[in-house]
Amino acid sequence: MEYWNWALELCLAVQLLITVFPALLGSHEQLSDLFQRDNKGGTAVHSSLLRGERNELFLFAQNPFHSLEPIFIRLACCKEVKEMKTIFSGIQPSGTLTLGNYLGAMKHFVDLQQENDCYFCIVDEHAITVPQDRLKLRDNIRSLAALYLASGIDPEKSTLFIQSEVAAHTQLGWMLQSISYIGELERMTQFKDKAAGKETVSSSLLTYPPLMAADILLYKTDIVPVGEDQKQHLELTRNLAQRFNHKFNDIFTIPEVSIPKTGARIMSLQEPTKKMSKSDSNQKASIFMLDDEKKIEKKIKSAVTDSEGIVKFDKENKPGVSNLLSIYASCTGESIAELEKKYENKGYGDFKQDTAEAVINVLKPLQERYYQLIDSKELDDILDLGADKAERAASKMLAKAKKAMGLGRVKKKR
């Protein structure tokens, strides 16, 4: 009898493999439906997603003649797993973030983390490519981490960490620097802009792109959400990854660039043809995420528009009004067309007042959460966990890259 029971279990396992593999081409819901139908048909087969790991689905087949003697079958790479992309984004801790940073990046990140494996890195080693006050830098690092979390980044869904706390970044950065060419680094627009008119320039400003490439490539990144100003650096990252793969070993994932459309480029309130910047010397030009209500109202009311008094989106001829429309639309979710209709035959006064209220409604709850976090142990615990998780992932990729380049040694077996 035991022989026949064992044979039946084996046959059932084979039947499961034949039946389940086609179902894996569909969704997990389709897979569950399959087993429910089998149950109704009298076969004692059921499925359980036992562990929520990203790369494994575990199924059990239970013999009707045994109470608890499951056959363990491991099936990998179901469709649900394949669709999860790895996303990396880094922000420098070089000052208080602006509304443009939130609407153009951080708000987008909150949505991305729902269905993707996201790494959000505070790139403090990039910050020191220009002179920094050490105490202010540390304050900025902590503040940026708190703003990430206050904006809705969930440490249960995403990995938030500080670049300098994961040593693999600088190690791989040096390795990628060795396959970078001086000419291509000197052609980077940001290097030209930051070096212009200066007698002395740090060499780290020139070698910034290979370190940025290392940040991205360490985590098998599929997608990098960036603004237009970083697109050139991402192209170099792709080139370095392809160059390494061709020269040594095919280990790096070639990342894709993603530029969000709505709110991707919030402009200066005083010079609406240039991007809103946290380093703008004109304090009226930028709304900062920690500005109070009075400051926000004052800045928006003094925002540059024109003399027409018509609320209409026209970037070329009405850049100031178009910028305010983009801000309003990004804060409320209303379309530009809806807002144009809403303020038809109305002046800029009402439009600016409502825009200010929309911004305040977005930033006020973020500020409340920020002040809860900024001096808390909770913030440190989250960053510690993020660094540990990032270290585990980065060390694996670094080991592969070192092996591919021939670095280190191979230990001899005794």
292 a known binding residue?
Answer: no
The answer to whether 277 is annotated as binding is: yes
Q: Which residues contact 224 (CB under 8 A, 6 or more apart)?
A: 87, 88, 89, 216, 234, 237, 255, 256, 257, 258
Would the annotation count 278 as a binding residue? yes
Assess whether 275 carries a catalytic annotation.
yes
Tell me the three state secondary structure of residue 99. Answer: helix
Report phi then psi at 222, rounded to 5: -95, -40
Respond yes or no: is residue 389 known to be catalytic. Answer: no
Sheet holding 71-76, edge to edge: 45-47, 56-61, 71-76
Catalytic position from the list 275, 299, 318, 352? 275
Residue 173 among known ligand-binding residues: no
The catalytic position among 85, 194, 312, 403 is 194
Fill in the DSSP letter of residue 413. P
Question: Residue 260 CB: number of other CB atoms within 10 A?
Answer: 19
101 is in an annotated binding site: yes
CB count in 10 Å sphere of residue 41: 8
Q: How many CB atoms lie within 10 A of CB 72?
A: 10
Q: Does 266 appear as a known binding residue?
A: yes
Verify whether residue 278 is a known catalytic residue.
Answer: yes
Q: Are 218 and 393 in contact (CB under 8 A)?
A: yes
Classify 267 as helix, strand or coil.
strand
- Annotated binding residue 165: no
Helix (H), strand (E) at residue 296: helix 293-301
Query: Is 367 labelled as part of a ligand binding site?
Result: no
92 is in an annotated binding site: yes
The answer to the question of whether 151 is labelled as a binding residue is: no
| Residue 100 labeled ligand binder | yes
Residue 215 among known ligand-binding residues: yes
Q: Which of 278, 295, 389, 403 is catalytic?
A: 278
Per the annotation, where are the binding residues?
A: 92-94, 100-101, 215, 227-229, 266, 275-279
Catalytic residue positions, numbered: 194, 275, 278
Binding-site positions for ATP: 92-94, 100-101, 227-229, 266, 275-279
As annotated, the binding site for L-tryptophan includes 215
